[in-house]
Structure 1
């Protein structure tokens, strides 16, 4: 795997950013993937809004409430690697449908517990944990599907559309409606989970064959019989690939402490909003809506900024700015300032996520996407429960302290790794040996020697 630019150097802005290739649509296949993901995003939005509100009704202990975030992320530590192997071994459409199907059953169980008045914080922990296990499979599959249906040049556009749509559905639609309906009757938004994930499972099963990921297997391309590699041997494939690539390795080690600090800062968000900012429970979703507005702005400008300034410089700037915004949120805990800072912070985070995912999808061969993604998430998201517990502990001092500590730490890391992030190349300047998707009409990429 090589880049088509000088190794380690950022190629900078791309000429011809307004080319016909950029103006063309992303294709019908991507539209199908996009639609299927919308249904799952609706369920995610309902779940992520209802979970902390349910927890706040069951307990007012900040450590137990912070535990919601810890339990949600804990599956990434234990199941991201096995899920990544499954994503690479099975039809990725089936992986999406399976994950959505199990989450449908979990939603039914939650409806029963609430209806019987039997829900406790510990039952909620269990439901969220199993939900997180399913998310490791779904997340790996949907991220692996995108580079199989769009070209590398269009990865930032495709990821920006997915990210933007998730923000719209989860925050503009799910969050305010869930929080408002939650105040009326808890069963209404929870019942919506059943419908959302049921629809997601159906739409995933109906995706076209190109979304399966089978085309990335060498045996399929050559007609040979595939070698059956033992499951235990595949556990190390993602680790070896990341460790063997300087840029991915360094980026991974940058991202882990940043993720922990972000997790710490937002661990008691619901208490920060309800108690410190004195925003009523019914308006909690509206507060999250400010983040959706900022995130939408980020999704719109992410690919444009990358084309204008280069992926690396934009990622470096967003990482540093995100830390500053988190710090300011803790220093100025008043509603208007918090809303503005939350929106700006969501914008920087969305831009970072879009470009980070595009870079990884471009540099990782399609046949390894599930395993490398699983390894990446294992330590990145698997260590975030540490941040959640840290944030809950710091919140015992004051609910602003997690934001101040987290923001200061992210800012320092942003300064330390600024020069490295500046060197990251654009996706289209990376050759991972994969041929472009058939619908792009591009000539096959010849793997570098």
Structure 2
């Protein structure tokens, strides 16, 4: 097996501004999609509450949003690694616009039921597997490795501003006035996102990197007589081999494998906590429905604050210690509000937990992007999300069942189990390296 460096791809040309023009266009394309996502994520649970009062059925909205990752994330990753990534983004945005238009039509005709809503959310989730894999794979094509935490922080920050500061209060008030306005804006946002994605520069396509890899690989394989397993990333391999490539790469990595397992377990706990959070806020904290989005701005402030300071925290304390700390603190915040269900405590807990989750996401994404070759990013990302987001519906279902005995129960139980997992994995997480040092510490394949 090869013992090459983690990322055999050449660094992006220094003539490109690390966070300059190409990156700015990626952010612009992502902003419109984030607006659509933000409206959908606020509207879906609020519409569900209007259609049913069963906590389990409400929790199925979260299940429907995440379930596609269990079966579609890896095929979506293969697709992202095979085609022009700009086209993948454009298709995902355009088809989501059509689905959003269908939801608007159902509402206007009075035909919307909880089951139609679940189908729409399921389709949104399926298309998100393509969009999310493509947008994450685009960033390392145009940003230098050492700038990945800063670039990912900016993407997180812009998504937070649009999805939460803008979308959450706007959607809540629009729904209170007329759902047609919220659903119409959602349709337009996805349509614009699909169009903007097609204007991204050629460097974002990923095609050049795949061609360089193919040219570099072919002579080496012919001379060495390597078998298929020796090259987990062959761009000309069949679909079956490509579907397994992401898993083989992660499992062969002594850094990514345990990080993947810990992320999945913690993700299940967070899913249990948040699947019926809308009911906890409306019924237990007595927040009026029209003010739901405004109340959730506490999480937006926390997430935006975290996005602004994550790079500095990483530079001062190191990636591993920061990740270990935010993991425990975020879960502790959920436990606190579960035990003391007061609006003020809830606002603080949401601020802290959303901020900790943002820091964790930025640093995990930066580690993956630095550790994975460009031509494998889509498949590794898809495999990662298959287990992570594919397992989270189990947590969402558990949260819905727990909520039947009390809306505070999912927060208390989910946070307790999560803290136990964090304690077991603390030593490993705290020793994770910084992204820019991975060439020296992590082999590409076992």
Q: CA deviation at 1:431?
A: 2.6
Q: CA deviation at 1:416?
A: 1.1
Tell me if structure 2 keeps the 8 A contact 1:323–1:414.
Answer: no
Query: Does residue 60 of structure 1 match 2:68?
Result: no
Query: Does residue 291 of structure 1 match 2:284?
Result: no
Query: Which runs of structure 2 are paired with 1:380-391 in the superposition (5 Å)?
Result: 380-391=388-399
1:231/1:221 Cα in 2 relative to 1: closer, same or farther (>3 Å)? closer
Tell me if structure 1 keeps the 8 A contact 2:18–2:142.
Answer: no
Instruction: Tell me how far apart the structure 1 counterparts of residues 382 and 445 of structure 2 sit (CA, whole Å).
Output: 26
Instruction: Tell me how far apart the structure 2 counterparts of residues 230 and 291 of structure 1 sit (CA, whole Å).
Output: 44
The corresponding residue for 2:173 is: 180
Tell me if structure 2 keeps the 8 A contact 1:321–1:411.
Answer: no
The corresponding residue for 1:243 is: 251
1:332/1:217 Cα in 2 relative to 1: closer, same or farther (>3 Å)? same
Q: CA deviation at 1:152?
A: 1.0
Q: CA deviation at 1:120?
A: 0.4
CA-to-aligned-CA distance 1:86-115 (integer Å, 9 cap, x gap): 000000000000100110000110110000
Instruction: Tell me how far apart the structure 1 counterparts of residues 111 and 192 of structure 2 sit (CA, whole Å).
Output: 27
2:341 partner SS:
coil
The corresponding residue for 1:12 is: none
How many residues get paired?
A: 418
1:220/1:276 Cα in 2 relative to 1: closer, same or farther (>3 Å)? same
The corresponding residue for 1:412 is: 420
Instruction: Tell me how far apart the structure 2 counterparts of residues 380 and 176 of structure 1 sit (CA, whole Å).
Output: 29
Query: Does residue 228 of structure 1 match 2:236?
Result: yes
Query: Which runs of structure 2 are paired with 1:258-269 in the superposition (5 Å)?
Result: 258-269=266-277
**Alignment equivalent of 1:280, drawn from 273, 283, 288:** 288
2:406 partner SS:
coil
Q: TM-score, normalised by structure 2?
A: 0.91
Instruction: Tell me how far apart the structure 1 counterparts of residues 157 and 176 of structure 2 sit (CA, whole Å).
Output: 27
Q: TM-score, normalised by structure 1?
A: 0.90
The corresponding residue for 2:105 is: 112
Instruction: Tell me how far apart the structure 2 counterparts of residues 221 and 211 of structure 1 sit (CA, whole Å).
Output: 18
Q: CA deviation at 1:339?
A: 0.3
CA-to-aligned-CA distance 1:2-56 (integer Å, 9 cap, x gap): 479xxxxxxxxxxxxxxxx9xx861110000011000000000000000001100
Structure 1: 5+ residue stretches without partners? 5-20, 434-446
Instruction: Tell me how far apart the structure 1 counterparts of residues 282 and 253 of structure 2 sit (CA, whole Å).
Output: 45
Query: Which ranges of 4 or more aligned residues in structure 1 deviate by more than 4 Å?
Result: 1-4, 218-221, 223-227
> Relative to structure 2, which stretch is displaced further, 105-114 or 215-224?
215-224
Instruction: Tell me how far apart the structure 2 counterparts of residues 47 and 302 of structure 1 sit (CA, whole Å).
Output: 27
1:417 partner SS:
helix
The corresponding residue for 1:442 is: none
Greater per-residue helix proportion: 2
Query: Does residue 157 of structure 1 match 2:165?
Result: no
1:236 partner SS:
helix
